[in-house]
């Protein structure tokens, strides 16, 4: 009834290896979940920036088209678009003098086009900053 001392130490060692392996797998899974959560957050931020800038671009393009085609300023839809886009156009409103044609009704609003370009660049810069931050955290 003598037990081999090597058998006991081998079984203990095997158990230790199994525990270490399970611990390692658990750590890997926790890292994968954390990376996935961080990736989802940054993807949401980038998509939100694209959505907000895209919505603003559409609003400004509608304003440009309404002014270009000489929409009735007393129309409820035109007033809504003008009032909604006014805060975004205000910083650019006196930048250039916009050409007028068609008896002063049709306006080629250069300032709106400049605003569209500037807001597009700001959106691109915001996405670039988020990606830069994400790349810096990914290496950690």
* Chain segment 16-49, per-residue pLDDT in tens: 878 888 888 888 989 889 888 888 999 999 999 9
Buried b (16+ CB within 10 A) or exposed e, 49-79: beeebeebbebbebbbebbbeebeeeeeebe
The span from the CA of 70 to the CA of 102, in Å, is 9
Is the pLDDT confidence value at 57 over 80? yes
Helices 110-138 and 76-89: crossing angle in degrees, nearest 10, is 60
Percent of the chain with pLDDT over 90: 57
**pLDDT value of residue 22:** 85
Whether residue 105 is predicted with pLDDT greater than 50 in this model: the reply is: yes
Q: What integer pLDDT is reported at residue 96 of this predicted model? A: 92
pTM of the complete model = 0.76
CB 70 within 8 A of CB 102: yes
Confidence (pLDDT) at 140: 46
Residue 9 has what pLDDT? 75
Q: Report the alpha-carbon distance of residue 136 to residue 140 in Å, rounded.
A: 7
Enter the DSSP assignment of 99: P
Q: What pLDDT shows up at residue 134?
A: 84
């Amino acid at each position: 009834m003598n037990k081999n001392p090597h058998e006991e130490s081998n079984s203990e060692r095997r158990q230790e290896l199994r525990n270490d392996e399970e611990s390692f797998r658990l750590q890997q899974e926790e890292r994968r979940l954390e990376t996935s959560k961080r990736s989802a957050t940054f993807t949401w931020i980038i998509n939100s920036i694209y959505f907000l800038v895209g919505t603003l671009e559409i609003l400004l393009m509608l304003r440009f088209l309404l002014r270009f085609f000489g929409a009735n300023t007393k129309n409820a839809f035109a007033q809504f678009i003008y009032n909604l886009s006014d805060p975004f156009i205000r910083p650019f409103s006196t930048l250039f003098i916009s050409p007028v044609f068609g008896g002063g009704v049709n306006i080629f609003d250069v300032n709106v086009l400049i605003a569209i370009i500037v807001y597009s660049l700001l959106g691109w810069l915001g996405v670039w900053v988020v990606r830069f931050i994400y790349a810096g955290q990914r290496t950690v």
